[in-house]
Structure 1
Amino acid sequence: MLAAAAPLFGHHSFGAEYDGNKPITLTGVVTSIQWTNPHFYFFIDVKDQNGKAANWKFEGYPPVVLNRVGWKRTETMLPGDTVTVFGWQARDGSNWAHSRFVTFAKNGKKLESGPPAGNGDGGNTPPVVPQ
């Protein structure tokens, strides 16, 4: 007899958490970074039109993949950096999103931060070009 246990905090599909029809582009200041597996997380404070800051959580590739696409853990993104993030918002409308690209104000560099949007069945939604 073979038995397997599912991890308490497992990997999830894009379609389960994010809406491929809700692309977002936000600019803010990095407040925290978590180089964890199976996903990298970072948080930014985004100011609204009245100057009130809201903290947003972004999910991306695992650290090993970020390294392959040009990220360096100790220098690419640091707390205090201003970044512009393109991705897709959580289905529940909260301040949580899947990140696809990050552009850094300090050097103008744009790096891939996560995979393209998927619809949860292994396919991709139509591509959305960041503005």
Structure 2
Amino acid sequence: MSAHPQQERRKCPRYNLQIPIQLSLSHSSFPDTLDATTLNLCLNGLYCTVTRYIPPFHKLLITMIAPKHEEAPPRVISQVEGVVVRVEPEQEKVGCHEYQVALYFQELSDEQEDALQALLAAHAAHVGGHECVYA
């Protein structure tokens, strides 16, 4: 029996891209916003590290900030509604101050999708190709 590599199920690649984001949380046990940095990003969502536990299926507003370039200051490129689809560790732990969170974008407008595609294309051009991961 020959081993077949597992087929990738993602429709779009994730890019190793660290951009600052702010998460606006509506649950009363969280502050109004939580700063984070993406670990990777695609047209469907992002993966980031945060300093507190956010439960799965929690809805939030993601504000993405384009990084500073030589002549351009940082700027907000989009505010997208998202939902937490995975958290690691899976349960809140006393003393834990780092959680990896996967967020799925809900209903991107055409303008938001265009802005995100432009950001990903600029990143791919900057690194001389795309650094994509399927994690």
TM-based fold match above 0.5? no
TM norm structure 2: 0.29
Structure that is richer in helix per residue: 2
TM norm structure 1: 0.29
